[in-house]
Amino acid sequence: MLGQMRLAIIGQGYVGLAITESALLAGHHVTGIDKSPSVVSGLRSGKSHIKGISHSVIAKSINSGDFEVSDSYAQASDADVVVIAIPTPLDNTGSPDLSLLVSAAKSLGEVLKTPKLIINESTSYPGTLREVIKPLVDEGSSQNHLYAISPERVDPGNRSYGVKNTPRIVGGLTDQARDAAVALYKSFCDEVIPVSSAEVAEAAKLFENTFRFINIGLVNEFAEIMSAMGIPADEVFEAAGSKPYGFMPFHPNVGIGGHCIPVDPIYLQERAKEFGLTSKYIALSQEINHRMPKYVTQRLIDEYGDIKGKKVLVVGVSYKADISDTRESPAEPFIENLKTQGAVVLWHDPLVSSWRGESCSPVSEDYDLAVVLVAHSNLSMNGWRGGPIFTTNFNQKYPDWKPLISIEHKKK
Ligand SMILES: NC(=O)c1ccc[n+]([C@@H]2O[C@H](COP(=O)([O-])OP(=O)(O)OC[C@H]3O[C@@H](n4cnc5c(N)ncnc54)[C@H](O)[C@@H]3O)[C@@H](O)[C@H]2O)c1
């Protein structure tokens, strides 16, 4: 059994705080390092800012001293293990942006003066640990650190699978590094799967999310075709889903969002270009997924009529049900499309109080219509006194909401 380890976890967001919680529950000491003052002060006061991560574990561990939080990388210097869990977004040209990872690696290099096990959990293209992180850390600290990668698979809002029961892939730049990381993860994960290299682990993560990205593109396109043929797509998907093998359900919607699914395939695509290759599947799925907000806007106009001057409430602006994360949310281009058509648009989301500098609007004002993009479990339309409620969801919360994607509009 692995004894208590001292972990420094860089980045205390969705991924970093989930690992923090699991490590604390396994009896390790954690120093959370985050550059956001509000994240640091919130955690220090014992409060979790991530839905699904309990206040009680955080508060208890802060009080006992097992969990410390800082904005200073210097606090990582006495850790046994450093885990990196910071954002790897796209830049404003749509290309991978490793600047935060680069800055974290440089900062670590400046403070790590004794050998550590350094594990990257941030998602990036194969080669990132070997070619980007290691040289930057080593340049500053010139120590014999062990480098491993364990791409995080957390699915925020998923009540069935969490850090403990989701199998974890681990690769290393050396066998020693991989085995040390495997031992750590075995202290709080049920199943740990060592792989032969860091690049295998990095590529496996990108393949998982590219698989999802492409299949969502496929169902989005298929739903458009079914709609034009006058065949209800939801019934088709349900019928196809009765096959007990060789089929996995995906659902169309107004687009694709979040920090992972729309982003990770682009990391793979850009890396492939360096090898003279390009993925046609990724390019095509991106095109289809990106046109969905426009398609749904047109479907709304087909069903409702002209929306010029109409007061529209868009409901559910996070990128999926039961989480408050609005990163890359397709609600944004959808709202822009509605505005381009002359609609006056407000939004409501029971999990999001402010977004894009605007506050959440109540459902009880006078609206002409509503479009429900994401139906959170706690969503209530009580007090609605406007016109029709449309939805892009397949699993409709209320039968009187009018579907916009699965619809036999050719028959009308
Ligand atoms: N959110 C998910 O569902 C999910 C799932 C699997 C993998 N990932 C990957 O995990 C990584 C982290 O994503 P996340 O969702 O946890 O991000 P996040 O935005 O929720 O959290 C990142 C945290 O890092 C902090 N931070 C940013 N730059 C920093 C720096 N230089 N030094 C210290 N702290 C810094 C931010 O203040 C923030 O609190 C990304 O690579 C992402 O692709 C995310």
- pLDDT value at position 141? 87
Cβ-in-10-Å burial (0-12, 13-18, 19+) of 281 comes to middle
List ligand 1's pocket residues with C-beta within 6 A. Answer: 10-16, 33-36, 39, 85-88, 100, 103-104, 122-123, 152-154, 156, 259-260
Strand residues in 284-376 grouped as ranges (E)? 311-315, 344-348, 354-355, 358-359, 369-372
Checking if the pLDDT of 199 tops 70, the result is: yes
DSSP state of 135: H
Atom of ligand 1 nearest to the CA of 103: 31
In the chain, what is the greatest distance between 2 CA atoms, to the nearest angstrom? 72
Please report the atom of ligand 1 found closest to the CA of residue 121.
Answer: 10
Q: What's the pLDDT score for residue 159?
A: 84
397 vs 244, higher pLDDT: 244
Residue 296's nearest CA partner among 327, 330, 320, 266 is: 330
249 or 98, higher pLDDT: 98
Mutation pick for ligand 1 pocket among 86, 169, 208 (CB with most ligand atoms within 8 Å): 86
pLDDT cut 90: percent of the chain above it = 86
142 in Cβ contact with 158 (< 8 Å): no
pLDDT digits (tens, 9 = 90+) for 225-251: 999 998 988 889 989 999 999 999 999
Best residue for ligand 1 mutational test, from 10, 14, 128, 210 (most atoms within 8 Å of Cβ)? 14
Supply angle C-alpha 295, 221, 394, rounded to 5.
Answer: 75
Q: Is 260 part of the annotated catalytic residue set?
A: yes
Give the pLDDT mean for 127-133. Answer: 98
Q: Is the pLDDT at 206 greater than 60, yes or no?
A: yes
d(CA 99, CA 97): 6
Partners of 65 in the β-ladder: none
Which amino acid is located at 378 in the chain? N
d(CA 166, CA 169): 10
Q: How confident is the model at residue 412 (pLDDT cuts 50, 70, 90)?
A: very low
Atom 25 of ligand 1, residue of closest alpha carbon: 11
Residue range 252-309, pLDDT digits in tens: 999 999 989 999 999 999 999 999 999 999 999 999 999 999 999 999 999 999 999 9
Cα separation values, 84 from 30, 213, 411, Å: 13, 25, 54
pTM for the model: 0.93
Which carries the bigger pLDDT value, residue 286 or residue 400? 286
Contacts of 78 by beta carbon, 8 Å cutoff, 6+ apart: 6
